[in-house]
């Protein structure tokens, strides 16, 4: 147990990006460091802190050295209403550059806090490329957090390096992503727009890559048994160090109280407990593996046209389902209200409006599969729960994650989405109910292919549980990383 020694001396600052799905895993990671006696301060703005403060309070009460340091977001200076300080499902497009401006104003304050709080190292989100220089000025390591999979980052690297999309004649012709461990095929339409045609985001991504190369290393919410080939590939391609430390959701949230409060703003929790226990009660009344969970993450709202197709596919499937719905403002939702009444009366379906207690739902034995947009957090949480997935990627790096699930791990069945789209934009494509129904039938079915897929998913869940135990891959990585950071600190103190 030599590696488990006390190290109260090591001080860390964690800086999550201002969006729920980047905050959730990085806060869980920060909590893991505190669990292993690293003194942790999380820097964020007051409104974003409400998303996770309950978890920090629980950890503090457990005697762990962790706290939040809140910054005041300069909303009025950048022309935003008070309280708008995050990129989320309701953030209007015109607000996005203003939030970035607010973050830029906060940068000097964050830099001086790194010094004032005597940080021995910083772990910052990929969207803070400047922090590598801030750390260099203080002579301390910066570790970059990726909210993505190793496969997605490796695929991105492959596309940027080899530009395979230039070698096909049409947007829908398939090409192979060169140089990767598996033969993964995609089309030009499935690539993010900034990869096809350079724009401002392309420039930002280049800055991020440059800052990663100059960082001490990177950390991912992943584990070796899930995508070790891609971890090795990525380290080689980037020429950097990297540690897989996941699944962080299971490791950091072992009690029901942790799971229930995760990712929910305190303000929104009034009445939520009752609502949450309602959905869990409903699941408890259902047989094992019988319910399909349908969720598209924290960032998306479909227009009615698409909601109708999903609703019909679910009703026609014959399976019980739990669907997390977000209705677009200003769209007629009467058909959904009718739909909800009908499925409630038949006891076939349960609709959750808004935020679902996802960790508690996924681990419930009644859940038999999930339809997911392939957001990396949801993928990790589903793997952890041993669930096979019907994959419905939409934006960011989700089409790459689909490749990992369907082609590399064979625990996913593709719904068959053809077109990448920008976050908050729906695009032209409407996925039809027949297409959705086919994927659900395979996911929940009893044929050999379906049974095998679910068996593989359960095996990965066992591997995930081993990864975070003493001697497991992620556990060992965390201890080794902490030890390395301690010796870097000693070198610095001794002037080496």
Residue 364 within binding range of ligand UDP, rule CB under 6 A: no
Q: Is 323 exposed, middle or buried (0-12, 13-18, 19+ CB in 10 A)?
A: buried
Nearest to 262 by CA among 76, 51, 423: 51
What minimum distance in Å lies between the beta carbon of 128 and ligand UDP?
A: 18
Residue nearest to ligand UDP (CB): 375
What minimum distance in Å lies between the beta carbon of 324 and ligand UDP?
A: 5
- Which residue's CB is nearer to ligand UDP, number 98 or number 259? 259
Residue 17 within binding range of ligand UDP, rule CB under 6 A: no
Specify the stretch interacting with ligand UDP by CB under 6 A; choose among 16-24, 117-125, 164-172, 237-245.
16-24
What minimum distance in Å lies between the beta carbon of 298 and ligand UDP?
A: 3
Q: What angle do CA 132, 200, 194 make, to 5 degrees?
A: 105
> Is 320 marked active-site?
no
Name residues contacting ligand UDP, limited to 257-286 (CB under 6 A): 263
Nearest to 140 by CA among 192, 47, 216: 216
**Concatenated DSSP letters of 89-103:** TT--GGGHHHHHHHH
- Which residue's CB is nearer to ligand UDP, number 52 or number 121? 52
Tell me which of 30, 292, 299, 482 binds ligand UDP, using CB under 6 A. 299
Residue 297 within binding range of ligand UDP, rule CB under 6 A: yes
Cα separation of 465 and 384, whole Å?
7
What minimum distance in Å lies between the beta carbon of 130 and ligand UDP?
A: 23
Q: Please say whether the beta carbons of 388 and 367 come within 8 A.
A: no
| CB count in 10 Å sphere of residue 23 | 22
Catalytic residue among 28, 39, 120, 125: 125
Q: Are strands 185-187 and 174-176 parallel, antiparallel or unpaired?
A: antiparallel
- Which residue's CB is nearer to ligand UDP, number 377 or number 391? 377
Residues 6+ apart with CB under 8 A from 166: none
| CB count in 10 Å sphere of residue 263 | 23
Phi and psi (nearest 5°) for 247? -75, 120
Distance of alpha carbon 153 from the chain centroid: 14
Element (H, E) at 350: strand 349-353
The dihedral through the CA atoms of 486, 491, 492, 493 has a sign that is positive
Name residues contacting ligand UDP, limited to 118-177 (CB under 6 A): none
- Which residue's CB is nearer to ligand UDP, number 113 or number 361? 361
Specify the stretch interacting with ligand UDP by CB under 6 A; choose among 51-59, 103-111, 295-303, 304-312.
295-303
Tell me which of 10, 18, 24, 86 binds ligand UDP, using CB under 6 A. 24
* Binding characters for ligand UDP, 372-411, by CB under 6 A (x = yes): ---xxxx--x------------------------------
- Which residue's CB is nearer to ligand UDP, number 29 or number 437? 29
What minimum distance in Å lies between the beta carbon of 21 and ligand UDP?
A: 3
Distance of alpha carbon 168 from the chain centroid: 32
> Is 125 marked active-site?
yes
Nearest to 413 by CA among 386, 377, 389, 378: 389
* Token pair for 347: 């006891």
Size of site (CB under 6 A) for ligand UDP? 17
What minimum distance in Å lies between the beta carbon of 259 and ligand UDP?
A: 9
What minimum distance in Å lies between the beta carbon of 468 and ligand UDP?
A: 17
* Binding characters for ligand UDP, 319-358, by CB under 6 A (x = yes): -----x------------------------------xx-x
Cα separation of 395 and 84, whole Å?
23
- Which residue's CB is nearer to ligand UDP, number 372 or number 474? 372
| CB count in 10 Å sphere of residue 81 | 9
Cα separation of 227 and 230, whole Å?
5
Element (H, E) at 413: strand 412-414
Residue 21 within binding range of ligand UDP, rule CB under 6 A: yes
DSSP state of 337: H
- Which residue's CB is nearer to ligand UDP, number 177 or number 383? 383
Cα separation of 375 and 41, whole Å?
27
Tell me which of 50, 68, 131, 298 binds ligand UDP, using CB under 6 A. 298
Specify the stretch interacting with ligand UDP by CB under 6 A; choose among 19-27, 101-109, 209-217, 304-312.
19-27
CB burial of 98-137 (b: ≥16 within 10 Å; e: otherwise) equals bbeebbeebeeebbebbeeeebbbbbbbbbbbbbbebbee
What minimum distance in Å lies between the beta carbon of 295 and ligand UDP?
A: 6
Distance of alpha carbon 91 from the chain centroid: 18
Residue 420 within binding range of ligand UDP, rule CB under 6 A: no
Task: Summarize as ranges the residues that interact with ligand UDP (CB under 6 A).
Answer: 20-21, 24, 263, 295, 297-299, 324, 355-356, 358, 375-378, 381
Residues assigned a catalytic role: 22, 125
């Amino acid at each position: 147990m030599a590696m488990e020694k006390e190290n109260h001396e090591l001080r860390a600052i964690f800086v999550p990006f201002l969006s729920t799905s980047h905050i959730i895993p990085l806060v869980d990671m920060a909590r893991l460091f505190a669990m292993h006696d690293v003194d942790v301060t999380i820097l964020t703005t007051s409104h974003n802190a409400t998303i996770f403060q309950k978890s920090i309070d629980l950890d503090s009460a457990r005697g762990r050295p962790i706290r939040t340091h809140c910054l005041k977001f300069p909303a009025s200076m950048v022309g935003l209403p008070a309280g708008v300080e995050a990129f989320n499902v309701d953030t209007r497009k015109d607000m996005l550059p203003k939030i970035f401006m607010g973050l830029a104003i906060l940068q000097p304050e964050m830099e001086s806090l790194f010094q004032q709080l005597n940080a021995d190292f910083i772990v910052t989100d990929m969207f803070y490329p400047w922090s590598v220089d801030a750390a260099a000025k203080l002579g301390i390591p910066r570790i970059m957090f990726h909210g993505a999979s190793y496969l997605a980052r490796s695929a991105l690297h492959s596309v940027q390096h080899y530009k395979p999309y230039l070698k096909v004649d049409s947007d829908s012709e398939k090409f192979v992503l060169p140089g990767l461990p598996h033969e993964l095929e995609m089309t030009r339409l499935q690539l993010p727009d900034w990869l096809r045609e350079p724009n401002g985001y392309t420039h930002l991504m280049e800055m991020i890559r440059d800052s990663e190369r100059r960082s001490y290393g990177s950390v991912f919410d992943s584990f070796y048994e899930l995508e070790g080939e891609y971890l090795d590939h990525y380290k080689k391609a980037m020429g950097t160090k990297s540690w897989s430390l996941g699944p962080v959701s299971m490791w950091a949230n072992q009690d029901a109280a942790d799971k229930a409060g995760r990712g929910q703003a305190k303000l929104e929790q009034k009445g939520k407990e009752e609502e949450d226990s309602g959905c869990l009660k409903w699941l408890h009344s259902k047989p094992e593996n019988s319910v399909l969970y349908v969720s598209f993450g924290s960032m998306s709202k479909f227009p009615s046209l698409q909601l109708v197709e999903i609703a019909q596919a679910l009703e026609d499937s014959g399976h019980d389902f739990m669907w997390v719905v977000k209705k677009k403002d200003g769209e007629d939702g009467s058909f959904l209200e009718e739909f909800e009444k009908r499925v409630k009366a038949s006891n076939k379906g349960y609709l959750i409006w808004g935020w679902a207690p996802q960790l508690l739902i996924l681990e419930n034995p009644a859940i038999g599969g999930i339809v997911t947009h392939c957001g990396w957090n949801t993928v990790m949480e589903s793997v952890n729960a041993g669930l096979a997935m019907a994959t419905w990627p939409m934006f960011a790096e989700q089409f790459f994650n689909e490749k990992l699930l369907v082609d590399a791990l064979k625990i996913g069945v593709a719904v068959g989405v053809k077109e990448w789209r920008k976050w908050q934009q729906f695009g032209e494509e409407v996925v039809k109910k027949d297409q959705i129904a086919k994927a659900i039938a395979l996911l929940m079915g009893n044929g050999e292919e379906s049974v095998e897929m679910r068996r593989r998913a359960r095996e990965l869940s066992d591997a995930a549980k081993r990864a975070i135990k003493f001697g497991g891959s992620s556990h060992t990585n965390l201890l080794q990383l902490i030890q390395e950071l301690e010796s870097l600190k000693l070198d610095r103190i001794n002037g080496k």
